[in-house]
């Protein structure tokens, strides 16, 4: 398999991720009109952190293949995006093992920082004159190593990755809140049952 086939595969994964994001966004906007959002989020929630880990792992493997296999030299902004993505494999993986929905306090900031850098990198690629000199003369941030479907480049792939991870962590958080509410309701029901049960007195 040549490198162009790998690049096309990464682009198709990006499109699939973006379609998933659009679907989630539409379902969330219609959550008050249809039960689809509750059904989908309830189905995804138990595995959401595992999916976030998978997305991060695929991004890590893909980035290493591009630099070590294809020989694409990472620019400064590429490295900054990697710094945001790489820890998410461990962060989300450990959280998935522990079923720790509080991982959002770590995952969301990393994803937000990485997404912001991805957007700025994409602007560098598309509007090099507007942002001034390249960030790195040795490995310019304006080089289009990948350009598929007239809009997908490496920073667009990274941006999609960050958004997917953030959404999946959010879905896991929603499941944690539902579980907490269910436990609270069950505890309240038990207390009411105990208080309403008449005490027996001995004759």
Number of domains in the chain: 1
Instruction: Give a yes or no: residue 153 inside a domain.
Output: yes
H-assigned helices in the chain = 3-29, 36-44, 48-64, 76-98, 104-126, 128-131, 154-196
Q: Is residue 34 part of a domain?
A: no
Half-sphere exposure of residue 174, counting CA atoms within 13 Å on the CB side?
A: 18
Q: How many CB atoms lie within 10 A of CB 119?
A: 15
Among 194, 196, 173, which Cα is nearest to 48's? Answer: 173
CA distances from 9 to 2, 49, 76, 162 (A): 11, 24, 25, 18
* 32-60 core/surface letters (b: 16 or more CB in 10 A; e: else): eeeeebeebbeebbebbbbbbbbbbbebb
Per-residue pLDDT of the chain (203 residues; tens, 9 = 90+): 799 999 999 999 999 999 999 999 999 999 989 899 999 999 999 999 999 999 999 999 999 999 999 999 999 999 999 999 999 999 999 999 999 999 999 999 999 999 999 999 999 999 888 776 667 778 888 899 999 999 999 999 999 999 999 999 999 987 655 554 444 444 445 555 555 555 555 44
Q: What is the pLDDT of residue 200?
A: 54
In this structure, is residue 43 part of a structural domain?
no
Q: How far apart are CA 113 and CA 166, in angstroms?
A: 11
Helix (H, G, I), strand (E, B) or coil at 74: coil
Is 169 within the bounds of a domain? Answer: yes
Cβ 10 vs Cβ 160: under 8 Å: no
In a domain, 161, yes or no: yes
Does some domain include residue 70? yes
For residue 114, what are the domain limits?
A: 48-174
Question: CA–CA separation, 1 vs 10, rounded Å?
Answer: 13
Question: Does 102 reside within a domain?
Answer: yes
**CA 170/CA 175 separation, integer angstroms:** 9
Q: What pTM value is reported for the model?
A: 0.84
Indicate the burial class of 184 (C-beta count within 10 angstroms; 0-12, 13-18, 19 or more). exposed
Q: Using an 8 Å Cβ cutoff, are 18 and 11 in contact?
A: no
């Amino acid at each position: 398999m040549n490198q162009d086939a790998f690049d096309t595969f990464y682009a198709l994964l990006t499109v699939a991720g973006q379609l998933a994001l659009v679907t989630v966004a539409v379902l969330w906007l219609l959550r008050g009109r249809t039960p689809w959002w509750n059904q989908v989020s309830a189905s995804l929630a138990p595995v959401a952190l595992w999916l976030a880990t998978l997305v991060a792992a695929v991004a890590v493997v893909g980035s290493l293949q591009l630099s070590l296999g294809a020989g694409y030299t990472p620019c400064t902004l590429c490295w900054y995006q990697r710094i945001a993505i790489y820890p998410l494999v461990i962060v989300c993986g450990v959280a998935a093992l522990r079923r720790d929905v509080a991982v959002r306090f770590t995952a969301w900031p990393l994803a937000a920082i990485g997404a912001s850098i991805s957007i700025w990198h994409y602007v560098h690629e598309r509007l090099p004159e507007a942002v001034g000199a390249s960030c790195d003369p040795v490995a310019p941030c304006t080089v289009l190593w990948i350009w598929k479907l007239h809009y997908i480049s490496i920073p667009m792939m990274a941006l999609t990755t960050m958004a997917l991870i953030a959404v999946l962590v959010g879905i896991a958080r929603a499941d944690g809140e539902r579980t907490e509410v269910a436990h609270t309701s069950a505890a309240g029901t038990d207390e009411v049952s105990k208080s309403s049960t008449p005490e027996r007195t001995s004759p």
